[in-house]
Amino acid sequence: MKFDHRKLLLLALAGAIILVPTLRTGVLPLLLALVLAMVMQRPVQWLRHHRIPPPLGTLLLMLSVLAPLLAAAIWGVQWALRWAGQLPDLLPALNTLEDTLDNWLYRRITALSPAGQAMLRQALDVLIERRQQLFSAALSWIGSVGSGWLSALPSHLAAGAIFLLALFFCCVGYRELADLGRVLLPPDWVSKVEKLMAALREQLSCWARAERSLVTVIFLELALGLGLLRMKSWLLFAAVIALVDLIPLVGSGLILIPWAGLVWLRGEPLRALGMALLWMMVWGTRTMLEPRLLGKRLQIPTALSFCAALLGARLWGFQGLILAPVGVALGVRLLREQTLEDAG
């Protein structure tokens, strides 16, 4: 029996990519770029049919997505810097809040037994004495986190630029890459890979429709909540926070929680409470609807979709949040088709 060395080499390469963290980290963005390029082929071909060449069509499609995101990011940074400039004015309110909390705690201590009062008063006095030290430590921690993020920002920007270039070239040269894959792959693998890519394109389309529905629901929820709270630029904030909510693990809390704290320090506790409740509603909406929508669109159980999204986000961040449920749905679909073929 003739042994195909190409299969052994390709299997070894796939195993190395899966098992070696460095290779996996480097290949996963390129794989995502190739998958997105495959999804973008239909609009690129539609633009080409209207006499727009693929390079220009790809660039227009990328800009149509990146330009609003970049504008929202710039506006968000400006808004954060404006709030940061108001922090010195909020320190007196913070001191007043601390004094109110201290007085409240002292009044509650008087309801305890004498022995308990003495012990808790001593602990509270020590806490008050060290409050400034704790506050300085908190500021130092925030500064270290911010400096670490800023120091890593150039590498993140470079990685993002490389990913966009890879996406552009993969999209423009997708046909050439597909032809090269047919040459490099063993003949009996070509039809299977083409079938796999077609199924993957369909699953990604289902994922995009599910996320679009979820973002629309969350946007309407945020617009209603911020509008009732009479926040300035509430419609723009709702759109930005709805997009930020796509970020795994942190989501809308990345904006709403610090914003609620700042509003509280400005002396508006009811509005701050309303923002906290709005964040809880948005979090609950995503937690309940996302697995259900993904499970319905991808035709997999809701629990399996939720576990796949959580595991993918934990392992690979935003890329894993996209690829993990789609990969699980793809695997389930292929297993079902294989079972039907075997039964037939």
**Each residue's pLDDT tens digit, 257-298:** 888 877 777 777 788 888 889 988 988 888 888 777 777 776
Instruction: Judge contact between 201 and 215, C-beta under 8 A.
Output: no
CA angle 132, 135, 141 (to 5 degrees): 145
Contact 115, 283 (CB under 8 A): no
Distance in angstroms between the alpha carbons of the first and the last residue of the chain: 30
Looking at residue 74, its amino acid is I
300: alpha, beta or left? (left if phi > 0; alpha if psi -120 to 50): beta
Higher-pLDDT residue of 135, 45: 45
Q: What is the pLDDT of residues 316-340, one digit of tens each?
A: 666 676 677 777 777 777 777 667 6
- How confident is the model over 153-208, as pLDDT tens digits? 777 778 888 888 988 998 888 888 888 888 888 887 888 778 777 777 777 777 77
Cα–Cα distances (Å) from 93 to 23, 105, 140, 262, in that order, read 51, 18, 21, 10
pTM as predicted: 0.64
Q: Where are the beta strands (DSSP E) in the chain?
A: none
pLDDT one-digit tens code per residue, 73-129: 777 677 766 766 665 665 565 566 566 666 666 666 666 667 666 776 676 666 666
- Six-digit token string for 281: 């509603």
What is the arithmetic mean of pLDDT over 51-55?
88
- Given a cut of 50, whether residue 1 has pLDDT beyond it is no
